[in-house]
Amino acid sequence: MRITVPATSANVGPGFDSVGVALSKYLSIDVLEAADSWEISHDLDNIPSDDSNLLIVTALKVAPHLNPHRLRMTSNIPLARGLGSSSSVIVAGIELANQLADLQLTADEKLNIATSIEGHPDNVAPAIFGNLVISSYVDEKVNYVAGSFPKCSFVTFIPNYELKTSDSRGVLPEQLDYKEAVAASSIANVAVAGLLTGDLKTAGKAIENDLFHERFRQSLVKEFSAIKAIGEQNGAYATYLSGAGPTVIVLADQENEEAIKAAIDGLALDGTSCILSVDTKGVRIERN
């Protein structure tokens, strides 16, 4: 059995801790034979191979009496880059428990469990459902709306350095002025409405006018301004920080994707670029 979970990009500008989209990078867990203790084979740096791995910690929270198995973990979702690496593992751990213990969890139940573990649903929701998901987590209750992201390319630059969420949250203010908060909320509303109606031009302007977090975080990602300039020169809809960063994503028409990627590569920045698309399936199971 194989469990596959997509990467995710959260916030998408002003959708702070609320908006997320599933993207075409993946974590896969192959469930092998039963064993005396949990054993995870992988080639990932600084990741445990025993029951202290987040995958197993999560699975045992859901089903404490699971029988141990040998597992194989493969992932091309980079760690601590703003593409939902930890969320993908949490969702995979819930699915591992669901399958091995035959819990028959619904997608909504998986989301509630994942959100309680992660603390907010913006990454775990699209990892479960695929596509675009707008969600909230208030008084320990999750509400969400799932929809299709407008057709476009996600031209993505992934720096070679990590930016931990705790560090990038440290630059945020403790509060916003009421008038400023109303303005920030109205921008977020337009961004979401534009995405759900397929109006990427309007959505893109709102995405780039975020007042909640990007203006405080962009200084932590030295590549951002140069990449944004490339997006503007090539008619992109928007350039934004993925999650807490440092990954930068340019939303663009497919006919412009190669030119934008080539221009980013031409900057010779310390990192890698790729062209991603929306994953529409979310977490899935393949049986041998």
**Could you tell me which residues are annotated as the binding site for ATP?**
78-88
Instruction: Answer whether 8's CB lies under 8 Å from 123's CB.
Output: yes
Q: Which residues are documented as binding site?
A: 78-88
What pairs with residue 45 in β-bridges?
none
CA distances from 281 to 22, 196, 278 (A): 9, 18, 9
- Nearest one of 2, 12, 13, 51 to 210, comparing CA atoms: 13
CB count in 10 Å sphere of residue 162: 13
Cis check for the bond before 150: say yes or no (omega within 30 of 0): no
Angle formed by the axes of helices 257-266 and 224-233, to 10°? 140
